[in-house]
Amino acid sequence: MKIILASSSPRRKELLSKMVKDFEIIVPQKEEDMTQKISMKQLCKKLSYQKAKEVFNETTGDRLVIGSDCMVAIHGKKLGKPHKKEEAKEMLQLLSSNWHKVYTGLCVIVQRGDEQKVYLDYDVSYVKFNKLTEKDIDWYLLHDEYKDKAGAYAVQGISNVFVNKIHGNLTTIIGLPTHKLYKILKQENVI
């Protein structure tokens, strides 16, 4: 059975490679719509499903397609991926000294012969940042790590120096809840 990761994220690729050795990567092309008026839980699941379904529809045969989507929320506000450095700076100022939630959706679509299954789930973890000075933020933004990262940071990158506490699963914050994915892969007898 082919295993396909529907993502361009090097972080998701690395996490999946620790669980299975042989898999393909096919990047979904549809833009994420973060403006939908639904809960963060529903949105991360919906976007994960859309990614997996797009790639599933482009492929054939027995296959297992994995889609995931990660977003940050603070004070009821959704923080996606910043488009400009100024937007990243605003996000980091908002995260400074505060707890925030990281939601990560997970969708796995499995095709075996005529049977098709869809697993759809999500996980949430909590992160507290230290107080960030303007100098801290400017130093961090010089590294361009904020690009293509929900909330403008990557907990496994240099921004980990800003993290004071974490409650929940680290891989959820990185972008692929491996503890949930493992159970699905095991149930489907691929590991």
Check residue 131 and report its DSSP letter.
P
Alpha carbons 23 and 21: distance in angstroms, whole number = 7
Sign for the pseudo-dihedral over CA of 6, 10, 15, 18:
positive
Residues 6+ positions from 74 with CB-CB distance below 8 Å: 94, 95, 98, 99, 100, 101
Whether residue 69 lies in the annotated active site = yes
181 within 8 A of 121, measured Cβ to Cβ = no
Strand partners, 127: 100, 166
**Which is catalytic among the residues 69, 121, 138, 148?**
69
Quickly tell me which residue has 């939630």 as its tokens.
101
Catalytic site positions:
69
